[in-house]
Amino acid sequence: MSTPILGQPLNRIEGRLKVTGRANYAADNRYDRLAHAYGVLSPIAAGTIVRLDAVGAENAPGVLAVLHHRNIPRLHRCPDEMDEGLKAAEERTPLEDDTIYYAGQFVAIVVAETFEQARWAAHLVRAEYQAKPHALSLDEGVKQNGRMPRDDEKAERGDVERALASARMRVDETYVTPVEVHNAMELHSTIARWEGGRLIVDDSTQWVYGQPRSLAHVLGIPVDCVEVHAPFIGGGFGSKLFLWPHAVLAAVAARHVQRPVKFALPRPFHFCTAGHRPVTRQRIQLGATPDGVLAAIRHHSETHTSLVTDYVESCGEATPALYHCDHIKVTHDLIRVNVGTPTSMRAPGACPGLFALECALDELAIKLQADPAELRLKNLPPINEDTKLPWSSIHFGDCIRTATARFGWERRTAAVGSMREGREILGWGFAAATWPAHRSLASAKVELRVDGSAKVSCGTQDIGTGTYTVLAQVVSELTRLPFERIEVAIGDSRLPRGPISGGSLATASLVPAVAEATRRAWQKLPATFREQRLALPEALRAAGRDSVVGEATTEPGDERENFAFRSFGAHCVEVRWDPGITKLRVSRIVSAFDVGRIINRKTATSQIEGALVMGIGMALMEEAVYDGRTGRVVNDNLADYHVPVHADTPAMDVTFLDRPDPHIGDFGARGLGEIGITGTAAAIANAVYHASGKRIRDLPITIEKLLG
């Protein structure tokens, strides 16, 4: 038998197409008579459109149409029913009325023969506004709109107030994270075209199953009249999960001008009308015994949302499950402000949540004069104490021991600024990582062919994570057909229902469906040929078949009632701080994860490395800055909104424990797209404190803050 194909660091099967420019992303498609859309965005953050004059734009060269609140056809708000494939990122339909809720809201779109003509004409649309006071910060939002306590974000056990009052050692600090913007390399892009009554859409979406359903609902047409194609997606990070206004507007415009319409959002639009991670302000109170046993955790979060959608960044989601602790209380207030609608961004909730919690634990370790990694090891969760369920499998302690051993953590000296190399001061920081292990319904079809090839089809998508490759590996593993002979068809809503590429659940959902479909295809062969243990092509030939097809739909079962599914990890970070020239950089990250079985070591490692780099951005660079007067994002481009580049990227050492989860499904793979960014910013902030003695509790950790 050949070596197992699962786990191997195989190259992406679509990699060659990507590096040679032959992979067609949504905006790359060309159609006859393709028209182009551009948006007119509100320059004010709150108020009313009192006058809108589109005549100048309508008469500009090449303009085909200008759509605004007075002439857009009636649209229907999309319900939030994820199981049905329905969810719009913004509840309000685009151009719904004359009310302005945030700067950057669409007030009109122009459709023209060329992109340049559409953009020029957009500047000719004359709109007058009646502005009213807006709220941008959490405090202004509370004053204007009050607080919305979220019962669905609450968790409580024991008596946290009493436990805090009687604890010998305490920490009580508040941590703030700013607005971060996904900034996937591929712009949000939609090309919509109508053929007869059918709407065909090329889209950059993380959910080819959901997008046609949401679109059909908003447009008021039958769902089987809509198809969505997304063979390649250049990153999403949560911003491309749900339906945004530009996709609706492209479809409406295409119907209106009866031509294909392309709407590729310019980069600045992404900062107001395609989602962001909201501001979070989190108060963490910890109580502990002098020998480092956690006695109480109180976690209160405030996060913002827009005036048109209640998006909750679940900062406290992981808190009740991460450590053993008898007294815990988690609460959350949502606050409305006049900014574009926030949405899921890589590890929503846990990512800012663990920044707060894991920094607070570092502060506790310092008070206790305890080693921060040892402090975590002392408080490992034997079961999920929130749900009272046993873990399906847990190797959290081994993650901590692996990361610290590979990093050389035992050489750390605790005193601030005590580790020097020349002019540089080394800071070594630790933090834990965690993310729930979700799984959803998935369907797949597998065709095994007599020529020794196979095809696997599923209406999921690859957002750059390795989904194509993983599906081919599963079929190859089970059939022993060569990996190179497995064709993968995804990124098309006409294929069997596939999972969303979000919540780190695609692989865990797809692997069981593809495995079952493969087995069913195999079982289509008469038993005699299967029992002869012939290789697949010979078996098909002997049975006189050209091919056999298996289809399967799998979903999580009652294992979810018996076990808690969660992944864990640990980060050790080294920063170098040169106070002489005020230079700070991350020089080394060593991380270890327990994410179940690894299907492809290369794509898995790439996922984690990408998340670590994104964590560096979160810790040191990323912040969308709003102009207090207008509510517009000042740094709405990649020159002013800083993300890490290669020069900012340190040596990274990623280890997977690679122990299959025995209960999650075939092969025991959990997801890993998000866990890498959880805890990363905390580990960096903790390292910065160790180097500089500056405890920065509001991200990003800029040089100004270190000088302050």
Applying CB under 6 A, the residues found at the interface with ligand MOS are 206, 236-238, 241, 344-346, 348, 502-503
Residue 452 has which token pair? 């020794």
Q: What are the CA-CA distances from residue 166 to residues 302, 369, 398 (Å)?
A: 26, 20, 32
Tell me the backbone φ, ψ of residue 633, rounded to 5 degrees.
-75, 125
C-alpha closest to that of 594 among 662, 670, 511: 670
| Half-sphere exposure (Cβ direction) of 301: Cα atoms closer than 13 Å | 34
d(CA 2, CA 503): 34
Q: Are 190 and 26 in contact (CB under 8 A)?
A: yes
d(CA 251, CA 515): 37
Residues 6 or more apart whose Cβ sits within 8 Å of residue 472 = 13, 456, 483, 486, 487, 488
Tell me the residue nearest to ligand MOS as measured from the CB.
238
Which residue, chain included where needed, has tokens 């959608």?
309
d(CA 120, CA 633): 22
The nearer residue to ligand MOS, 350 or 448, going by C-beta atoms, is 350
Which residue, chain included where needed, has tokens 């078949």?
545
- The rounded Cα 705 to chain-centroid distance in angstroms is 28
**What is the closest distance, in whole angstroms, from the C-beta atom of residue 699 to ligand MOS in the complex?**
18
DSSP 466: S
The nearer residue to ligand MOS, 505 or 685, going by C-beta atoms, is 505
Q: Are 681 and 623 in contact (CB under 8 A)?
A: no
The nearer residue to ligand MOS, 136 or 506, going by C-beta atoms, is 506
Backbone CA torsion sign across 684, 690, 693, 695: positive
**What is the closest distance, in whole angstroms, from the C-beta atom of residue 556 to ligand MOS in the complex?**
17
d(CA 701, CA 255): 48
DSSP 340: P
The nearer residue to ligand MOS, 238 or 650, going by C-beta atoms, is 238
- The rounded Cα 453 to chain-centroid distance in angstroms is 34
Q: What are the CA-CA distances from residue 271 to residues 84, 104, 276 (Å)?
A: 29, 8, 7
**What is the closest distance, in whole angstroms, from the C-beta atom of residue 237 to ligand MOS in the complex?**
6
**What is the closest distance, in whole angstroms, from the C-beta atom of residue 463 to ligand MOS in the complex?**
7
Q: What are the CA-CA distances from residue 508 to residues 329, 660, 684 (Å)?
A: 31, 11, 30
> CA 673, 679, 684: angle at the middle one, nearest 5?
120
The nearer residue to ligand MOS, 7 or 236, going by C-beta atoms, is 236
**What is the closest distance, in whole angstroms, from the C-beta atom of residue 238 to ligand MOS in the complex?**
3
C-alpha closest to that of 662 among 393, 431, 341, 358: 393
The nearer residue to ligand MOS, 206 or 476, going by C-beta atoms, is 206
C-alpha closest to that of 509 among 437, 565, 441, 600: 441
The nearer residue to ligand MOS, 320 or 436, going by C-beta atoms, is 436
**What is the closest distance, in whole angstroms, from the C-beta atom of residue 268 to ligand MOS in the complex?**
22
The nearer residue to ligand MOS, 237 or 563, going by C-beta atoms, is 237
The nearer residue to ligand MOS, 199 or 208, going by C-beta atoms, is 208
Q: What are the CA-CA distances from residue 212 to residues 78, 338, 409, 501, 555 (Å)?
A: 12, 29, 50, 15, 22
How many residues belong to the chain? Answer: 708
Residue 213 has which token pair? 């359903």
**What is the closest distance, in whole angstroms, from the C-beta atom of residue 673 to ligand MOS in the complex?**
7
C-alpha closest to that of 347 among 318, 322, 319: 318
Q: Cis omega (within 30 of 0) on the bond before 700?
A: yes
**What is the closest distance, in whole angstroms, from the C-beta atom of residue 503 to ligand MOS in the complex?**
4
**What is the closest distance, in whole angstroms, from the C-beta atom of residue 344 to ligand MOS in the complex?**
4
**What is the closest distance, in whole angstroms, from the C-beta atom of residue 261 to ligand MOS in the complex?**
26
**What is the closest distance, in whole angstroms, from the C-beta atom of residue 611 to ligand MOS in the complex?**
11
> CA 429, 610, 442: angle at the middle one, nearest 5?
120
Torsion of CA 314, 320, 322, 326, to 10 degrees: 160
**What is the closest distance, in whole angstroms, from the C-beta atom of residue 182 to ligand MOS in the complex?**
8
The nearer residue to ligand MOS, 346 or 576, going by C-beta atoms, is 346
Task: Render the burial of 606-629: b for 16+ CB within 10 Å, e for the rest.
Answer: bbbbbbbbbbbbbbbbbbbebeee
Tell me the backbone φ, ψ of residue 233, rounded to 5 degrees.
-135, 130
Residue 505 has which token pair? 């659940």
**What is the closest distance, in whole angstroms, from the C-beta atom of residue 239 to ligand MOS in the complex?**
8
How far is the first Cα of the chain from the last one, in angstroms, to the nearest whole number? 64
The nearer residue to ligand MOS, 503 or 668, going by C-beta atoms, is 503
Q: What are the CA-CA distances from residue 45 to residues 49, 302, 418, 455, 630 (Å)?
A: 11, 21, 49, 51, 6
- The rounded Cα 184 to chain-centroid distance in angstroms is 11
The nearer residue to ligand MOS, 428 or 593, going by C-beta atoms, is 593
The nearer residue to ligand MOS, 206 or 280, going by C-beta atoms, is 206
d(CA 445, CA 455): 8
- Indicate if 704 belongs to the active site: no
Q: Identify the active-site residue in 153, 186, 363, 674.
A: 674
DSSP-derived pairing of the beta strands 294-305 and 454-457: unpaired
Residues labelled as active-site residues: 674
